[in-house]
Each structure stands twice: as C-alpha cells, then as structure tokens.
Chains A and B, each alone.
Chain A
Amino acid sequence: EDQVTQSPEALRLQEGESSSLNCSYTVSGLRGLFWYRQDPGKGPEFLFTLYSAGEEKEKERLKATLTKKESFLHITAPKPEDSATYLCAVRAPGGDMRFGAGTRLTVKP
C-alpha cells in the first residue's frame, strides 16, 4: 500500500536556526511529490512539485529536494512567519494523491 510518512511530527526552532523536514514514501512509479504549507484553520498553500530524483526547487528560505525514497524540505534561517504545518503528498501512477500527516513547525523569535 502506498504510504507517506512525515517526520518529525513537530519541530521547534529558534529564529535563524536552520533545519530539515523529512517526507518518506513507498509509492512505486512516482508521478510527483508535492509540498504544501498550511496555516491554522486555513487551506493548504502550494509550495513545490518535484518529479524526479535529484530535482531541487527553492522559494525564499525553503528548498525542497527529492531522492528515490524521500524528500526533504530545508528551511534556512527561518523566521517566525515560517511557523506553519508543512504537508507532503505523492501522486501514484493511478492518479491518487496520498498525503502525510504533516510536520508542525514553530519558529520562536
């Protein structure tokens, strides 16, 4: 069965303290890996799509990378406004999207 596991469940950082969030998956024939940001009580906001191992994408302080088994969302010098839940999702060959449970990031000033 296709699975998506995100770790850690929660992460607390000091402002400026860089770190990484992990998304591991067991989908065969990946048709895309997606990262979203979700603020409390709001819908997920699209960040990145990665399609093949070795691919990287960046947006401001965020950088997403992809291997054959996992993806990392690197956060460089985070600010309090980066606090949110980050969701990972994968699309399998059949078209289904499978979502992880998310990593709740808190950045303290």
Chain B
Amino acid sequence: DGGITQSPKYLFRKEGQNVTLSCEQNLNHDAMYWYRQDPGQGLRLIYYSQIVNDFQKGDIAEGYSVSREKKESFPLTVTSAQKNPTAFYLCASTWAADPYTQYFGPGTRLTVL
C-alpha cells in the first residue's frame, strides 16, 4: 500500500526541547516538502528537498531543520529557537513525472506545553 506516513499523530513539547517529526513515503517520489498549517491561514512552506542530501529553505524556515539522507525519508526537527511551534505539520511529496501536484501525509499536531 503506497503512501505518505507521518508520525507521531500527536506530539507534545516542553519549552526548550527539540522534537523531530517523521515523514516517510514509499511512492518513489523525488521531492518532499514540509508545511505548517495554522487556523485561518494558508499552508506555509518550511523546507523542501528535490533530491537526496539537498534541501532549501521555504518561507518560514527559522527555528526548523531538516535532513534528506534517504529518498523516502524527510524528517523535520522543531528546535527550541522556534518560538511558536504549536501547529499542524504536513509533509508532502511529488514525483518527477508530475512535479506540480503535491500529495500530502496525514499530518502531525504539535502542541507546546
């Protein structure tokens, strides 16, 4: 069963903690993306990666970091430098044959305690 998985579904973070959100895809997609969704706002791009070992900052990269060591995996770390991390985080991917259509994972809801 092909798809994009994100884990955990819910995550709680204490002040000063770094946390890592997982995103895995078995669709053989080339590019992967991380978005943040806040109530009443459109999705905002955090980071994206077109190929392994390469990634670019999106509109709101400050306080976040990523890695792309494997084609199927694109974890996002929310660092303590991110002052307002409570949000719904969405991972997406695209494949080379249709690079414009993004397919999304189920999301991770991060809450700061």
Binding site for A on B (CB under 8 A): 4, 6, 35, 40-45, 88, 90, 100-107, 109
Contacts and interface: CB of A to CB of B under 8 A. Distances in A.
A89 B106 CA distance: 18
Contact of B40 (A34, A36, A101): A101
A97 B45 contact: yes
B45 A101 contact: no
Given A41-B109, A43-B90, A101 B42 contact: yes
Interface stretch (A44-52, A64-72, A76-84): A44-52
B9 to A, nearest CB: 8
Interface string A87-103: 10101000011111110
Provide the main secondary structure of the chain B interface.
Answer: strand
A42 interface: yes
A97 B44 CA distance: 9
Contacts of A43: 4, 6, 90, 104-107
